[in-house]
């Protein structure tokens, strides 16, 4: 019988992850992700599992505020407050930077397809979860479903850039890299408290991944899933203190029917 707590929708969890951008390992991941983002003026982008909006901010700044619209989606409703602050900081209105509270594990059946020029996601898609009462176990159905949904929502030639954790991620390496930030932070004890809180969530995530609830998959399996969803032009690299894959792929242009 399924018995598991879900911390992701909780406000406390959302607020804990608002400060992860202070950690050196995350800053590395953010830099690498930004290097693979190429938002153009007027484009529409989707930020899946957006959290406090660090990737939304990156898209806005990379486009010099000329991007058409960015929609952030996250299961934690508390992130609406982070997006309110983000809009004020960037001097953007709610039509151009939007927040939508939803669990993407179920997909977006009411959303029309071919509407986004790009989709970005940071360490989030691996947490799409689906429990089979019939089989009495967690499955990868939601993971496969969200990949298919991203493909459906993208326009032809649309770009998908995302990161997911490697199998058995060594959270201790992320924590070790974070120690260097203590000496550069104006509030070192507050910084250490935040780093410890994030590391403690890591133990829960690893435990649930071993049960099959979350999906820390090898690259070969991710590659096969992306091809099955229809994506092409796959490329990847390892980052985030060697605990994550950063991946970029595209939705091909359909072949004309002769």
258 within domain boundaries? no
6 within domain boundaries? no
5 within domain boundaries? no
User: Tens digit of pLDDT for each residue in 121-138?
Assistant: 999 999 999 999 999 999
131 within domain boundaries? yes
Among candidate residues 126, 136, 114, the one with its CA nearest the CA of residue 48: 126
User: In the predicted model, what is the mean pLDDT of residues 49-71?
Assistant: 97
4-8, 182-186, 204-208, 244-248: the lowest-pLDDT one: 182-186
- The number of beta carbons lying within 10 Å of the beta carbon of residue 86 is 22
User: Tens digit of pLDDT for each residue in 165-206?
Assistant: 999 988 777 766 655 554 455 555 555 555 556 666 777 888
Among candidate residues 235, 250, 230, the one with its CA nearest the CA of residue 160: 250
3 within domain boundaries? no
Measured CA to CA, the distance from residue 43 to residue 115 in angstroms comes to 10
- The pair of three-digit structure tokens given for residue 97, joined into one six-digit string: 């930077």
Q: What is the CATH number of the domain that holds 38?
A: 3.40.50.150
Residue 70's DSSP bridge partners are 45, 97
Residue 194: its pLDDT value, please?
A: 59
Average pLDDT, the chain: 87
Measured CA to CA, the distance from residue 157 to residue 232 in angstroms comes to 10
Number of domains comprising the chain = 1
Domain that holds residue 99: 11-250
189 within domain boundaries? yes
118 within domain boundaries? yes
This model's pTM is above 0.85: yes
255 within domain boundaries? no
Measured CA to CA, the distance from residue 66 to residue 48 in angstroms comes to 20
- The pair of three-digit structure tokens given for residue 108, joined into one six-digit string: 């977006």
Residue bearing the bigger pLDDT, 17 or 140:
140
Residue 183: its pLDDT value, please?
A: 47
């Amino acid at each position: 019988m399924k018995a598991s707590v879900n911390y992701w929708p909780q406000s406390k969890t959302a607020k804990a992850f608002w400060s992860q951008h202070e950690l050196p390992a995350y800053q590395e991941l953010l830099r690498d992700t930004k290097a693979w983002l190429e938002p153009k003026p007027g484009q529409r982008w989707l930020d899946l599992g957006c959290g406090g909006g660090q990737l939304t901010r990156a898209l806005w700044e990379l486009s010099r505020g000329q991007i058409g619209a960015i929609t952030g989606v996250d299961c934690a409703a508390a992130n609406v407050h982070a997006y309110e602050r983000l809009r004020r900081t960037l001097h953007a209105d709610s039509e151009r930077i939007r927040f939508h509270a939803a669990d993407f594990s179920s997909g977006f059946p009411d959303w029309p397809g071919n509407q986004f020029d790009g989709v970005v996601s940071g360490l989030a898609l691996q947490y799409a979860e689906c429990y089979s009462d019939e089989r009495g176990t967690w499955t990868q159905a939601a993971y496969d479903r969200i990949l298919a949904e991203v493909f459906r929502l993208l326009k032809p030639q649309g770009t998908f850039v995302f990161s997911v954790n490697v199998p058995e991620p060594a959270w201790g390496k992320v924590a070790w890299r974070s120690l260097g930030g203590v000496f550069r932070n104006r509030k070192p004890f507050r910084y250490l408290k935040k780093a410890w809180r994030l590391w403690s969530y890591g133990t829960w995530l690893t435990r649930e991944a071993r049960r099959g609830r979350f999906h820390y998959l090898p690259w070969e399996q991710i590659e096969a899933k992306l091809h099955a969803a229809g994506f092409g032009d796959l490329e990847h690299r390892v980052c985030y203190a060697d605990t994550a894959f950063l991946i970029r792929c595209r939705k091909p242009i359909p072949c004309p029917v002769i």
